[in-house]
Structure 1
């Protein structure tokens, strides 16, 4: 086992035994709320969450005409292309929408990484707002790192996909941005409720998305 593999083997049980896990378990073991969990999970896919995030940031930093152009670029490369390519691949392979099998997540992640990278380069080339461009870069870099994590551990992309944008909104608007982050525990609950992830995986995804994105934004900006 590699050093990375040994790290995840050690840290995962520790997360599972944390106090937050014990609190979540009291709610997850209930047989009620599956329908709500499905709805929450469906509307919080990372590409979907990116749409209102970029729109909000661009609305405050750009004029109307520039807002339309930059937001369109963000939607194409952070939402439409990732969803389209992954959906086509899922239909071709005949697997579930959540790609529950960790080993089958690698190629869809490569699709997303490529799309985010193209989006970042275009935003940088046209002089889009620094925060918008930096966030697109974070989508690229975070997903690239997750690709390597996926070789050893199944981290929650849903939790990461909500926590990362939360970091950007907090960076832009300060403490009021924390309100956006209130959906993070709800998304975490939905993923575990549907048995798509363990508690350690959703906590890991949320922590990774929030901390790593915030660090990158401070470095880049």
Structure 2
């Protein structure tokens, strides 16, 4: 165990890493691809989704060590870069899906992520309330899975208390910020799906 890190903190960190937005996106897209392979039309749309919703956003973590602007910016710089790359991936991926006339299921996935990114940015930047991107990035995909797979998926919402516990123990968010992030994820996903 790292110096000064308790077992509780170590577990909280593991939960936090396993539920980071791009990893949750990877599992969400993969599950949808397994269940709805025909609707994806081609494996290329699966890889397109993984590239723009997982690989590009997660690249923020190694890039923070390379890019001079973020190298010494600490946790806030890391969060900012991750948010920029995530929203960029969501928007570029969405535009390509629309321009290339991608399958409806992929359009819905991207609509949900774009709506989440936009609404989270609005709450955090315009309303100046630090809603949890982590909670949003888990509750939104669960809502997306519920849309496609129905009631059997509802049990996944039981993950949310673990995320709350983890983020509070790591002193990354308050309970109110986590609740706000969860509600943003659910509402924005429903909004994104409704728009299509």
Common fold by TM > 0.5: yes
Structure 2's unaligned 5+ residue stretches are 1-5
State the partner residue of 1:75. 50
1:1-40 matches, cutoff 5 A: 33-40=8-15
Structure 1's unaligned 5+ residue stretches are 1-30
Alignment equivalent of 1:51, drawn from 26, 40, 43: 26
Number of residue-to-residue matches in the alignment: 186
Structure 1 pair 174–191 and aligned structure 2 pair: CA distance change class (3 A): same
Structure 1 pair 95–87 and aligned structure 2 pair: CA distance change class (3 A): farther
State the partner residue of 2:59. 84
Alignment equivalent of 1:117, drawn from 91, 105, 117: 91
Alpha-carbon RMSD across the aligned residues, in angstroms, is 2.4
Q: Tell me by how many angstroms 1:126 deviates.
A: 4.0
Structure 1 pair 127–58 and aligned structure 2 pair: CA distance change class (3 A): farther
Q: Tell me by how many angstroms 1:44 deviates.
A: 0.8
Q: Tell me by how many angstroms 1:170 deviates.
A: 0.6
Q: Which string of whole-angstrom CA distances, capped at 9 and with x for unpartnered residues, describes residues 140-163 of structure 1?
A: 232123223223121111100000
Structure 1 pair 128–58 and aligned structure 2 pair: CA distance change class (3 A): farther
CA separation in 2, counterparts of 1:106 and 1:42? 17
Q: Tell me by how many angstroms 1:32 deviates.
A: 6.2
Q: Are positions 1:145 and 2:125 aligned together?
A: no
